[in-house]
């Protein structure tokens, strides 16, 4: 990582201009539909200036503040995941040729994309998705094509939400790796450091100042504060053995009574990777498109086999989700599948809190 330098806020637009000059489309945070969403933007003016986000279990509300900060919120329902693992995309097309047929792969769009304002938790989640889609014997070509053209500008989290617990999972609030540039927002500008050669190259185009000791101290204090204010936490970094030993804990039934099995948690979770493959045919079935779309282990089709449900009860589905995320993920990818972003807590319609459930399930038993 390079020595931090300082970009005064009025110069933030330079970063946009440089990226656009290099042919990147910029995806950044905007305040929209009552939440932070990541959209294509061309100007720094589109950022959510003066916006705060109140997030609690089952709650997300935008609020306004009277300052000039653009990144003074924790996160929105989505960030990087939909950009690399598309919510719905075609994999191949079939066309009939007389009695025969042909199948042709559909290529993923590969436009170079810069994501501005990614959080440490999202970088950690991206690293996990990379391992899933790229790290095995079968490299997913669609994910790979999008991932390759991705430039990541992190903004360290200075305003975590009450739902956040990245400090307890070790994934935030400061981005440690996996970014091209990392910014930390102060009252009148940003400290900036590069995390890659591409990032270094970008720095050379910006009108930067040396970061002063007081700016650096301000950053340290803000990041320390961002970790210190987090009250939620997981009861340990590896819950594999304890959770798998408690598959009959009465807590599963209690949480199943509140769970609507709606799948919101899996949709907002930046590490959930399940997807369904479906076939969409033209009316005469002369051609069709084989697609994949995000799926959820809470849904009807996930555990469907030969006309039966493997996990018919909500209890089984919630248990599958939580034990995968916090236990069997360790077997698959050597760490927990939770990066502490708190999205599943905020976006659960009934406010089910993964940290509370994990604590109850893992509490010492008499």
Partner 1 sequence: MNAAHLPQPAEIVERIRESDNIFTLKLRFADAAYQANYCYAPGQFNMVYLPAVGEVPISLSSDPEDDHLAHTIRVAGRVTRGLAELKSGDSLGLRGPYGRAWPLASALGKDVVVVTGGLGCAPVLAVIHYVLRRRSAFRRLVVIQGVKHGHDLIWAAAYAAWAQQPDCQILVAADAADALWPWHVGSAIPLIEQAQFDPAHAVAMLCGPEGMMVAAARALAARGLDESAIHLSLERNMQCAVGLCGHCQLGGHFICRDGPVFAYPEVKLLLERGGL
Per-residue interface string for the shown chain with ligand SF4, residues 319-348, x marking contact by CB under 6 A: ------x------------xxxxxxx----
Give how many residues touch ligand SF4 by CB under 6 A.
13
Per-residue interface string for the shown chain with partner 1, residues 145-184, x marking contact by CB under 8 A: ----------------------------------------
Query: b vs e for 265-277, b when ≥16 Cβ sit within 10 Å of the residue's Cβ?
Result: bbbbbbbbbebee
For ligand SF4, give the closer residue by CB, 44 or 128: 128
Separation CA 84–CA 41 (nearest Å): 18
Separation CA 107–CA 102 (nearest Å): 16
For the segment 126-145, give every residue that binds partner 1 (CB under 8 A): 132-133, 136-142
Residue 328 is given by DSSP the state: I
Tokens 């018919």, residue? 312
102 is an interface residue for partner 1 by CB under 8 A:
yes
252 is an interface residue for partner 1 by CB under 8 A:
no
Helix (H) or strand (E) holding 127: helix 120-134
**CB of residue 95 vs partner 1: minimum separation in angstroms?**
9
271 is an interface residue for ligand SF4 by CB under 6 A:
yes
241 is an interface residue for partner 1 by CB under 8 A:
no
**CB of residue 276 vs ligand SF4: minimum separation in angstroms?**
19
For the segment 56-75, give every residue that binds ligand SF4 (CB under 6 A): none
**CB of residue 266 vs ligand SF4: minimum separation in angstroms?**
8
Instruction: Give how far Cα 333 sits from Cα of 129, 296, 342, Å.
Output: 10, 19, 21
Parallel, antiparallel, or unpaired for β 113-118 and 100-105?
unpaired
Partner in contact with 325, chosen from partner 1, ligand SF4, none, beta carbon below 5 to 8 Å by kind: ligand SF4
Answer for the pair 173, 122: CB distance below 8 angstroms, yes or no: no
Burial of 164 (0-12, 13-18, 19+ CB in 10 A): buried
């Amino acid at each position: 990582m390079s020595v931090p330098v300082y970009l005064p806020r009025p110069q933030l637009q330079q970063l946009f201009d440089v990226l656009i000059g290099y042919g990147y489309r910029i995806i950044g945070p905007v305040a929209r539909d009552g939440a932070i969403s990541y959209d294509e933007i061309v100007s720094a003016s589109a950022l959510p200036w003066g916006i705060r986000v109140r997030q609690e279990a089952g709650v997300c509300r935008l609020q306004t503040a009277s300052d000039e900060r653009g990144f003074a919120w924790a996160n929105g329902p989505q960030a990087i995941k939909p950009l690399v693992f598309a919510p719905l995309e075609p994999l191949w097309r079939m066309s009939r040729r007389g009695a025969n047929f042909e199948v042709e792969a559909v290529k993923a769009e590969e436009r170079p994309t810069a994501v501005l304002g990614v959080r440490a938790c999202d970088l950690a989640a991206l690293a996990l998705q990379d391992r899933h889609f790229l790290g095995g014997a079968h490299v997913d070509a669609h994910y790979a094509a999008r991932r390759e053209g991705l430039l990541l500008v992190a903004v360290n989290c200075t305003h975590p939400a009450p739902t956040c617990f990245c400090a307890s999972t070790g994934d935030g609030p400061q981005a440690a790796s996996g970014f091209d540039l990392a910014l930390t927002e102060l009252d009148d500008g940003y400290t900036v450091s590069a995390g890659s050669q591409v990032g270094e190259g970008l720095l050379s185009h910006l009108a930067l100042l040396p970061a002063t000791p007081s700016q650096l101290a301000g950053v340290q204090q803000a990041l320390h504060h961002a970790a210190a204010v987090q009250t939620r936490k997981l009861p340990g970094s590896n819950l594999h053995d304890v959770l798998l030993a408690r598959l009959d804990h009465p807590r599963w039934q209690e949480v199943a009574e509140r769970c609507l099995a709606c799948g919101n948690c899996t949709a907002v979770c930046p590490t959930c990777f399940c997807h369904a493959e479906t076939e969409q045919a033209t009316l005469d079935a002369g051609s069709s498109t084989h697609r994949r779309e995000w799926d959820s282990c809470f849904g009807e089709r996930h555990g469907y086999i030969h006309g039966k449900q493997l996990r018919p009860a909500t209890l089984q589905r919630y248990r599958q989700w939580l034990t995968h995320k916090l236990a069997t993920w360790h077997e698959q990818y050597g760490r927990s599948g939770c990066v502490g972003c708190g999205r599943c807590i905020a976006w659960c319609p009934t406010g089910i809190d993964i940290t509370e459930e994990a604590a109850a399930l893992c509490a010492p038993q008499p």
